[in-house]
Amino acid sequence: MSLSRKRKKELRKLQDQATRLWESQQVIVGEAATVAREASRQLGNYSREQVVPQAKATYGKYAAPYVDRGISVSKQVMNDTIVPAAGAVVGSAMSVWDAANETRAKLSGGRIPAPAPVLVPPKRGIGAGGIIAIIFGVAAALGVAYAAWQTLRADDELWVADDPLRAPDA
């Protein structure tokens, strides 16, 4: 099927229009990409200059005192309660160890013959080190929980912005 000259001319004209439209759309898309890049750069500047300092100031004003208080309470609990308790447990274990060594020395001193060595199956269960680790872990978890509780129990009014949100002045 062949086309008439008139139809061929109309098709070429239509193809030229489509090509011009495509080229103009490419220019527009390029301009839009440039605008988007500049908007992204401006948003980064605004974030660096306005949002980050405001967030730091708000954190320092509202959350930091509670976090600091939680940390100081955790340190106090650690130093005043957990370390002395762990020291007492270790001291008691060392006393028992010393008593066992003393008894062994008496037995091997010649008065009573030492019993034949008996193969003891390996212990199963948690040892003193495991108990101390559990105590330290629980104390740390309690400190973190206390700090979070102190932070989150603040009045709701503290978290409401004083001014309604509005667009920044250009």
Q: Which residue range forms the structural domain that includes residue 35?
A: 8-109+127-152
Residue 163's pLDDT is 52
CA–CA gap between residue 25 and residue 103 (Å, rounded): 96
Residue 155's pLDDT is 55
162 within domain boundaries: no
115 within domain boundaries: no
Residue 110's pLDDT is 55
- pLDDT per residue as tens digits for the range 144-168: 888 887 777 755 555 555 555 554 5
158 within domain boundaries: no
CA–CA gap between residue 98 and residue 103 (Å, rounded): 9
12 within domain boundaries: yes
3 within domain boundaries: no
Residue 62 has pLDDT above 80, yes or no: yes
Domain count across the chain: 1
72 within domain boundaries: yes
For range 55-80, the mean pLDDT = 87
pLDDT class of 74 with cuts at 50, 70, 90: confident
Q: Collect all residues with Cβ–Cβ distance below 8 Å to 69 and sequence separation of at least 6.
A: 147, 150
- pLDDT per residue as tens digits for the range 86-119: 888 888 888 888 888 888 777 777 555 556 677 7
CA–CA gap between residue 66 and residue 60 (Å, rounded): 10
17 within domain boundaries: yes
Residue 39 has pLDDT above 80, yes or no: yes
84 within domain boundaries: yes
